[in-house]
A and B are shown apart, each in its own frame.
Chain A
Amino acid sequence: MPIESIATTVGAAWSGLALLLTWPNLLCLVAGTLIAMSVAALPGVSGSTLMAIAIPLTFAWEPVPLMVLFGALVGGGTFMGSVTAILLNIPGTAPNAATAIDGYPLTQQGRAREAIGCSATASALGSSVGIIALILMLPFVSRALSLVGPTELLVLALWGLLSVATVIRASVLKGLIVAGLGLMVSFTGLDPVSAEARYTFGTLYLQDGFALVPVFIGTFAVAEVIDLAASGRARVADRPAGGGLHGSLTAGIRSVFRHPGLFLKSSLIGTGVGVMPGLGGTVAAFVAYGEAQRSAGSGGRFGQGDIRGVLAPEAANDAKDGGSLLPALAFGIPASAGTALLIAALQIHGIRPGVELLQQRLDLAFVLIWSLFLSNWITSIVGLALARPMVALADLRVSRLASIVLVLAAVGALSYRGSGADVAVAFGFGVVGYAMKRHGWPRIAFVIAFILGPLVEVNLHLALSLHALGRINLWTSPTVLAGAAVVLVTVLAPRWLQLRGRAA
């Protein structure tokens, strides 16, 4: 790699840090992290809900504070979910389910503080490993961007789409159907080539297509609240946080340094899984847990309160954030719901991932990376101090939480374009999102396909035009052939990883 490329990256990293550490960006970082932590402590309410609501509320913001806030929302949500998993046996987010397997038995044994200390340290250090890996890969990817044309972008978008659709745990068939539906919904509106109206049913509103914000608010925020209300619970958590916090915090922190090999292996698993679209933190956490269990052999007490069962999934879950930013920043391919919402926020602010971001505004990309890095550390440090009051949030009444989230969802949808129809669309997609969740149809494949739809359509048109003009041959193009091979490997590899995780 040329020296100037390293110098550019280091310079951009420094500028990004300087931008982040100015007022009011620092406030955005701390406030975003604390809000994300609070939401992550609420079982059943995901960080995606928060991000979907934050998109319209930040329309008027400059790009730098926007990047800071979204970095904080992505990073701030990961650790706190493990606190409810350890103390209540209720994972705050899905990936924390792996932490609960050994975390809750540790609490029952009076070692809750040890488990939380281990989780906080593994989370902070794991996220750092993921971010370092991302920074090391960025210069290579940035240089490769100049070689990327419509055919390559098309192959990358198809790769993202197919891998998301096929790694769904419930059913590959359902994943593919939902991804196809997401694409079809994204085609609503005027055709980019002929300007012919498609699927508008004669309405003026649909000529612009479905807007990202109401669709995302509905699919995540409204759907989650309907699900929570339909659960029939009076309170967010169905059991109180009993007992005090016992055990040694320092023993938990030390446990990470007692198992450096396991920590590094879990972090690298998390980073690798994070790069692959659709796999997400749950697969990362369970694969790392399975690997920890396998490598411990018969010497472990996994499932009965082994501290390594907390260390491995937490390190992997936090490391995946760094990995998932790579395809998002470089190609606009979302690897998770969080990065899909991040890309939506960037697009609405006119920031395009890819060449524009990584070659012309690399400092802006680093603002996001630093924000993610610092928010992970803030979460772990503050989380250690505020674990008990944060867990008390899970005792919130469902009617209060649902009222607040529903009104914020309506406000968010309305503030996007000032159109009341957007509120109706958000709630319509909320009902669809709830039905999908309840019947095991993956919403993540739907929203990622919805984001990738325009990218697929425009680049397919361009590639076919270039093919017709004789500028490229799609059947013999090395990019297409290599891309097809990568798609195959990516589609098959996650199945193998899932099977390993399941076997564990």
Chain B
Amino acid sequence: MTVRPFTLVLAAVVTLLAWQTWWLGPDARRVPLVVVAPLLALVGCQLLREARARGAPPATDPRPAAVAAVAWAAALPAAVAAFGMLAGPPLFVAAFMRLRGREAWGPTLALAVALAAFVWLLFVVLLQQSVPRGFVG
């Protein structure tokens, strides 16, 4: 069995979209139905192709490094949600550079402060837009 998990996820998404399309009104579903019906067939072909592929199974998937990279990327919106747009990004940068990049404190703090200043300048001074606050503070 060489079907990749990503293809299975895609197949699930397309099936869900097809199911939702079926229950739409006639006007709303006209164009999506034209797209999703062949899309279902194409995804089926891709699944078949992967299932019938010979040779070595795909490499371990997902790789630990990839999982870590995705987790770090998810940490930024989480930090923004928790601490707001002014405090979240510098906290994320400090954690990312110290823990993931093993950087010294000097460049870490310099970049964190510079990016915080940029966010403040852009939203507060230039755009005069309210900066979202986090649920922590």
Asked if A198 contacts B28 (CB within 8 A), the reply is: yes
Known: A180-B35, A232-B65. A191 touches B45 (CB 8 A): no
Within the complex, the shortest CB–CB distance from A218 to chain B, in Å, comes to 10
List of A residues within 8 angstroms of B76 by Cβ: 406-407, 410, 427
Asked if B32 contacts A187 (CB within 8 A), the reply is: yes
Q: Answer whether residue A388 sits at the interface, using C-beta atoms and an 8 A cutoff.
A: no
Residue of A nearest to B39 (CB): A180
Within the complex, the shortest CB–CB distance from B82 to chain A, in Å, comes to 11
Contact with B along A437-450 (1 / 0, CB 8 A): 01101000000000
Asked if A411 contacts B42 (CB within 8 A), the reply is: no
A-B contacts counted at CB < 8 A amount to: 167
Known: A400-B107, A410-B76, A431-B73. A180 touches B93 (CB 8 A): no
Asked if B46 contacts A174 (CB within 8 A), the reply is: yes
Known: A174-B46, A410-B89, A427-B73. A196 touches B119 (CB 8 A): no
Contact with B along A413-436 (1 / 0, CB 8 A): 011001010011001001100111
Q: Answer whether residue A398 sits at the interface, using C-beta atoms and an 8 A cutoff.
A: yes
Known: A184-B36, A222-B73, A427-B74. A415 touches B123 (CB 8 A): yes
Known: A198-B20, A225-B73, A434-B70. A461 touches B39 (CB 8 A): no
Q: Answer whether residue A54 sits at the interface, using C-beta atoms and an 8 A cutoff.
A: no
List of A residues within 8 angstroms of B13 by Cβ: 181
| In the bound complex, CA of A436 to CA of B132 (Å) | 31
Number of interface residues of B (CB under 8 A): 60
Within the complex, the shortest CB–CB distance from B136 to chain A, in Å, comes to 14
| In the bound complex, CA of A305 to CA of B111 (Å) | 42
Q: Answer whether residue B87 sits at the interface, using C-beta atoms and an 8 A cutoff.
A: no
Asked if A398 contacts B132 (CB within 8 A), the reply is: no
List of A residues within 8 angstroms of B109 by Cβ: none
Asked if A173 contacts B27 (CB within 8 A), the reply is: no
Residue of A nearest to B13 (CB): A181
| In the bound complex, CA of A234 to CA of B97 (Å) | 11
User: Which residues, 32 to 50 on B, are CB-close (under 8 Å) to A?
Assistant: 32, 34-36, 38-39, 42-43, 45-46, 49
List of A residues within 8 angstroms of B35 by Cβ: 180, 183-184, 187
Q: Answer whether residue A176 sits at the interface, using C-beta atoms and an 8 A cutoff.
A: yes
Asked if A399 contacts B97 (CB within 8 A), the reply is: yes
Residue of B nearest to A229 (CB): B69
Secondary structure at chain B's binding surface: helix, strand, loop or mixed? helix
Within the complex, the shortest CB–CB distance from A408 to chain B, in Å, comes to 8
Asked if B122 contacts A193 (CB within 8 A), the reply is: no
Asked if A439 contacts B4 (CB within 8 A), the reply is: yes
Out of B66, B119, B127, name the residue touching A407 (CB < 8 Å): B119
* Interface of B toward A, CB cutoff 8 Å: 4, 6-7, 10, 13-14, 17, 20-21, 24-25, 27-28, 30-32, 34-36, 38-39, 42-43, 45-46, 49, 63, 65-66, 68-70, 72-74, 76-77, 80-81, 85, 89, 92-93, 96-97, 100-103, 107, 111, 115, 118-119, 122-123, 127, 129-130, 132
Residue pairs across A and B with Cβ atoms less than 8 A apart, 13 shown, are: A177-B46, A180-B39, A184-B14, A187-B35, A230-B70, A397-B101, A400-B101, A404-B111, A407-B92, A407-B118, A410-B89, A434-B66, A461-B31
* Additional 12 contacts, C-beta under 8 A, given A180-B35, A431-B74: A191-B28, A193-B28, A230-B69, A399-B96, A407-B92, A414-B132, A418-B130, A427-B76, A438-B6, A439-B7, A460-B31, A460-B34
